[in-house]
Amino acid sequence: MTPVAEPKIDCHMHVLDPARFPYNPSVAYKPAGQEIGTPAQFDAVMAFYGVTHALIVQPNSGYGSDNALLLDTIARGNGRFKGVAIIDFDASLADLRTLQAQGIVGAAFNPTFHGVDHYLQAKPLVGRLAELGMFLQLQTEHDQLLPFVKWIEEIPVPTLVDHCGRPTVAQGINQPAFQALLKVADTGRVSVKLSGYAKFSQRPYPFDDCEPFVRALADAFTLDRCLWASDWPYLRAGERQDYGPLTALVARWFPDAAERAKLFSGTAKRLFGFR
């Protein structure tokens, strides 16, 4: 079986369908053209590439905290989808339980979009997520992870780190934020998405300068805490991205089929309860 055909769970992708669900007018960046990725278009991707399930991440672009399309896609997905929503910091436990019942497994924090200061008052929400076993999902870059490390260590919240933590490649694996990311593997509650290479690589595909970071993460977290994701439909991509080459990259870095099975689907099934 080729990597393209191997069963997969895509743990970071977005849906954007402005024709059916108009963008939030208060959101500055509104994806257009090939950045748009509708649920129908992703259905075709899933069928061709062996994707059985997906974790849909609410995009800051286009929709912001309007989770209507995300919830609609999950509801129509026949169990194939779960979601990470953008959740108001003052959401109550009852609010979170309602979202859980609709297939939402966590809250997305994106300092790469809003900056770190935007989230400094969100610690109580992190505590409520922990109380319900919901995930804190963090997308940070450069040294932005550092202010959140203490929260991760102190609050027993399961945590997802997007796109390898988006390190500064030129600073190597010893940079403080990346070392802090490796250290929180010891909590046993943090998982990392091996994805988003175009967001931090300084080279074109196959992103060879990302491999040392991927190796270090796989060693620290083991593939029991690493997840594969495509980042489809590649918002703000600096150059063209395609699903096929990204799946082939997994085979390049993880030639063992048993390891790929964990990365492609096994760990995601366990963490998110996909069946």
Query: Do 202 and 169 form a contact (C-beta atoms < 8 A)?
Result: yes
Q: Does the N-terminal peptide bond of residue 158 adopt cis geometry, omega within 30 degrees of 0?
A: no
8-272: CATH, from 3.90.190.20, 3.20.20.140, 3.40.50.170, 3.10.20.30: 3.20.20.140
DSSP 198: G
Q: What per-residue confidence (pLDDT) applies to 86?
A: 98
For 239, residues 6+ apart whose C-beta sits below 8 A from its C-beta are 198, 204
CA distances to 24, 86, 228 from 66, in Å: 7, 8, 26
Q: Are 171 and 196 in contact (CB under 8 A)?
A: no
pLDDT, average across residues 120-127: 97
pLDDT digits (tens, 9 = 90+) for 143-174: 999 999 999 999 999 999 999 999 999 999 99
pLDDT interval class at 1 (50, 70, 90):
low
pTM for this model (two decimals) = 0.97
Containing H/E element for 53?
strand 51-57
Alpha helices in 56-175 (DSSP H): 68-75, 93-101, 111-114, 123-132, 146-154
Dump pLDDT digits (tens) for 216-232. 999 999 999 999 999 99
Q: pLDDT tens-digit profile of 5-22? A: 899 999 999 999 999 999
- What mean pLDDT comes out for the span 235-264? 95
Please say whether the beta carbons of 59 and 236 come within 8 A: no
Q: In what order do the strands lie in the sheet with 81-85?
A: 8-13, 51-57, 81-85, 104-109, 135-138, 159-161, 190-194, 226-228
